[in-house]
Amino acid sequence: MKIIYTAIIIILFASCKNEVKKDDSSAPLGDQIEKTTTAFLDPQTNDTLIYPEEKHFKNIRQVTFGGDNAEAYWSFDDSKLIFQSNNKNWGVNCDQMFLMNADETFMDKQPPMISTGKGRTTCSYFLPDGKHIVYGSTHLKDENCPEVPLKKEGKYVWPVYDSFDIFVADLEGNITAQLTNEPGYDAEATVSPKGDKIVFTSIRSGDLELYTMDLDGENVKQITDELGYDGGAFFSPDGSKLIFRASRPKTEAAIKEYKELLAQGLVQPTEMELFICNADGSELRQLTHLGNANWAPFFHPSGEKILFSSNFEAERGFPFNLYLIDIDGKNLERVTFSEGFDAFPVFSNDGKKLAFSSNRNNGGGRDTNLFIAEWQD
């Protein structure tokens, strides 16, 4: 579950700031960021989807128009993307997987759905052959959409469904293999740019840890082993490193709460930092110390920076914007200047384009759409 419920996330963080304390170590980093007091669309530019401070976007194109659309991932040749949506106009009630060509826009038409249409799906990713994808799905346990709890005892939570397993499907939607079959949550699979490994999150050890496996599901290896939710992992462009988000409960009360919620299939997403390690799990270190929720990280094409989403500057837990940071934790830079939600940034394999999700240009509603920007350093 790589933070898949985009509209829910918007609600989820709207008033949680009072429950989350900022780390004091964020102050010097925050001073490096050029702040803006207003976020508005520039009337002087031809591209009204770009805020005037967003200097890394040369141009931008809105891809979807309605519903919650997220986690758009490129094929290895950058010709296609796979993404998840719950757009009711497309005949789905919870997240399913849809295929698109990289130059398509879906204002008046519907992309082909290539998941089963049953249960809930998450985190699809192309395999190197360009003819198959991996994704997580709950459909084996129940063909209906599982319930999505938002609060537990007044605190915001995400469900971690024990019915998620990871599957391989072709681009016609036919499931060709099941890669996981352990009891409990298995999801959040992404593929190394080298085309040899999959990283995913599993609860098979009793905690939410990262694992790698071969493309056929063999040679499973546990990568992390510290208490907390480790998820949303991506490989570096050369496949040598992993970047991911994690919660790390430290106090006795926080540990007790984490374990009790996890036993109920729930986690709290309001305090997460980014961690980086080698692809085998060695040399693990914390990358950010910003406080609040830092998540959806993805390597810059250089392999020397991380692009991620955060609300660490927000006064009430919202908005979320995109930031760049060096892999040594220095040179934090704000990239987007939305008053709403920008997240799920994913660079094309050639490094020229960025796909991301945003609720800019949604008429003030809760729709979260896909955008593709031409990137410039």
User: Domains of the chain: which residue ranges?
Assistant: 6-28+72-337
What mean pLDDT comes out for the span 279-305? 97
Ranking 11-15, 181-185, 231-235 by mean pLDDT, the lowest is: 11-15
Amino acid at 110: Q
List, in order, residues 6 or more apart from 25 with CB less than 8 Å away.
Answer: 289, 290
CA distance 263 to 242: 27
Confidence at residue 156, expressed as pLDDT on a 0 to 100 scale: 84
| pLDDT higher than 60, residue 92 | yes
Mean pLDDT of 28-53: 50
pLDDT (mean) for 15-32: 33
pLDDT score for 270? 87
Average pLDDT, the chain: 88
Structure tokens at 144: 């209906």
pTM for the whole structure: 0.89
SS3 label, residue 1 = coil
Question: For the segment 297-351, what is each residue's pLDDT rounded down to a tens digit?
Answer: 999 999 999 999 999 999 877 899 999 999 999 999 999 999 999 999 999 999 9
pLDDT in the model for residue 45: 38
- DSSP assignment of 263-324: HTTEE--SSBEEEEEETTS-S-EE-----SBEEEEEE-TTSSEEEEEE-TT-SSS--BEEEE
Q: Which CATH code of 3.90.1150.10, 2.120.10.30, 3.40.50.2300, 2.60.40.790 fits the domain covering 6-28+72-337?
A: 2.120.10.30
What does the alpha-carbon distance between residue 30 and residue 313 come to, in Å, rounded to a whole number? 8
Above 90 in pLDDT, residue 352? yes
> Distance (Å, rounded) from C-alpha 35 to C-alpha 194?
38
Over residues 59-67, mean pLDDT: 95
User: CA angle 121-122-126, nearest 5°?
Assistant: 110
Res. 7: pLDDT tops 60:
no
Higher pLDDT, 156 or 178: 178
pLDDT tens-digit series, residues 208-257: 999 999 999 999 999 999 999 999 999 999 999 999 999 999 999 999 99
Residue given tokens 């996890």 in the structure block: 262
Torsion angle of C-alpha atoms 114, 79, 210, 309, degrees rounded to 10: -100
CA proximity to 349, closest of 197, 238, 251: 238
For range 196-205, the mean pLDDT: 98
Look at residue 150 in the predicted model and tell me its pLDDT. 74
**Both tokens assigned to 256:** 């007790």
The tokens 């955060």 sit on which residue? 310
**What's residue 47's pLDDT?**
56
pLDDT average, residue stretch 20-24: 34
- How many CB atoms within 10 Å of residue 225? 12
Give 91: exposed, middle or buried? Use CB within 10 Å, 0-12, 13-18, 19+.
Answer: exposed
- pLDDT on residue 186: 98
Q: What is the mean pLDDT of residues 192-201?
A: 97
pLDDT at 154: 72
Residue range 262-290: mean pLDDT, rounded: 96
Give the residue-averaged pLDDT of 115-124. Answer: 97
